[in-house]
Amino acid sequence: MAATQTLFGKNLQELATLCNELKMPRFAARQIARWLYVRRIEDPMRMTDIAAASRKLLAEQFPPACSAPEHESCSADGTKKYLFRTLEGHFIESAYIPDGDRATLCVSSQAGCRMGCRFCATGRQGLQQSLSPAEILNQVVSIPESDRLTNLVFMGMGEPLDNPENVLRALEILTADWGFAWSPTRITLSTAGVLPQIERLLEESKVHLAVSLHNPFHDERAEIMPVEKVWPIARVVEILRRYDFTHQRRVSFEYIVMSGLNDSPRHIRELSRLLNGIKCRINLIRFHKIPDSPYFSPDTEAMIRFRDALTARGIQTTIRASRGEDIQAACGLLSTRAKNEI
């Protein structure tokens, strides 16, 4: 058995298979899952309702997966950014965002990203590693505020649907009754539009979906988001029309507003045409400047005008507040490129 395998991050079926291989009773799989995900005990030697010989065998074969963040940065607005080292030695960042009675963790799914979006600091560093389920879940359980979390957003480093197996496994563990038992309505996954993995996500999970749109015109979107050349946003929207978003599950579209680039009246008209008939929300995000970027942030008045124009066309539109910009934790700013190059 590979030394890099860990108990933490395995789903119930994998634990059952493991118990069978180790000649343990099948019901031990649920016992292990309860220790790992309900009691949050990773050390097999502390799993007291499992036979002593089995505990010893598990402890010998499976090293710990969970580790505390290596660094914490605190914003003036209460946001915190945590730096984690992966099992392969790369770095990722997560952002903890308190807001009244809500506490959201922005989770990373990869170290770096290969989508290459021109406005994103993570995209500039390229892809170092796709995270395992254990490395994804470690971000949730290993921050000091873990017990306060009310919401998770897969909007950190990486494209979640470029790592579908491990992300879906993490979502299963998060939402299963034998796992963390989170409601899927408390989790949102963001994607740049990776087909056919969007369909798989919608079939295999019940979490909310957020699509990074940023420009409704094919040629213009392709200039800032290379993914458009492979999976055009028009095809993504066509797929979404097949699903019902009128009940508990929501779909939203993220739209980073760049002054003079994607905020004109013709963009408003095309957005209205593209999304016509889909029950959705557009979240407007002010562009956050990254070094050597040719793009510019709009002022508050321009953001309000853009929002009001979309609202007038019947699209529910909100302006997302920027959080953690002073510690490089806001949308598009997460990057560990310098640390990964050490």
Q: Considering 42, 66, 93, 159, which one is annotated as catalytic?
A: 93
User: In this model, does residue 4 exceed pLDDT 90?
Assistant: no
Summary count for the chain: helices (H), strands (E):
13, 12
pLDDT of residue 247: 85
Task: Provide mean pLDDT across the span 188-197.
Answer: 96
Please name the helix (run of DSSP H) or strand (run of DSSP E) that holds residue 334, with its range, or none.
none
| CA atoms of 254 and 238, how far apart (whole Å) | 17
For 189-193, what is the mean pLDDT? 98
Other CB atoms within a 10 A radius of the CB of residue 328 amount to 18
For residue 131, what is the DSSP state?
P
Q: Is position 238 annotated as part of the catalytic site?
A: no
- Please indicate whether residue 228 is annotated as part of the active site: no
pLDDT the model gives residue 176: 98
172: nearest Cα among 9, 17, 311, 294: 9
Count of all residues that appear for the chain in the document: 342
Is 79:326 a contact under the CB 8 Å cutoff?
no
Confidence band (pLDDT; 50, 70, 90) for 293?
confident
Give residue-wise pLDDT tens across range 301-316: 999 999 999 999 999 9
Question: How much is the mean pLDDT over the chain?
Answer: 94
Question: pLDDT: is 146 or 125 the higher one?
Answer: 146
Is the pLDDT at 1 greater than 50? The verdict is: no
Residue 11 has pLDDT above 60, yes or no: yes
Q: Is the pLDDT of residue 164 over 80?
A: yes
| Secondary structure percentages of the chain, helix, strand, coil, to 5 | 35, 20, 45
Q: Exactly one of 66, 113, 120, 331 is catalytic; which is it?
A: 331
What Cα–Cα distance (Å) separates residue 325 from each residue in 119, 141, 189, 206, 259? 15, 24, 21, 31, 18
Is it the case that residue 331 has pLDDT exceeding 90?
no
Residue 230 is predicted with a pLDDT of 97
Decide: pTM greater than 0.85: yes
Confidence of residue 288 (pLDDT cuts 50, 70, 90): confident
Which residues are bridge partners to 209 per DSSP?
189, 251
Class of residue 5 by CB neighbours under 10 A (exposed 0-12, middle 13-18, buried 19+):
middle
Does residue 342 carry a pLDDT above 60? no
Tell me, rounded to whole angstroms, the distance of Cα 216 from its chain centroid. 23
pLDDT digits over 29-71, tens only? Answer: 999 999 999 999 999 999 999 999 999 999 999 999 999 999 9
Q: Give the model's confidence band at 124: pLDDT under 50 very low, under 70 low, under 90 confident, else very high.
A: confident
Confidence label for 328 from pLDDT (cuts 50, 70 and 90):
confident
> What is the predicted pLDDT for the residue at 287?
93
Q: Which of 2, 8, 52 is nearest to 32 (CA)?
A: 8
Across 123-137, 225-239, 283-297, least confident range: 283-297
DSSP classification of residue 262: S
Alpha carbon separation from 88 to 123, 129, 200, 298, 340 (Å, rounded): 20, 8, 28, 39, 11
Task: Report helix, strand or coil for 317.
Answer: strand
What integer pLDDT is reported at residue 192 of this predicted model? 97
* pLDDT score for 284: 97
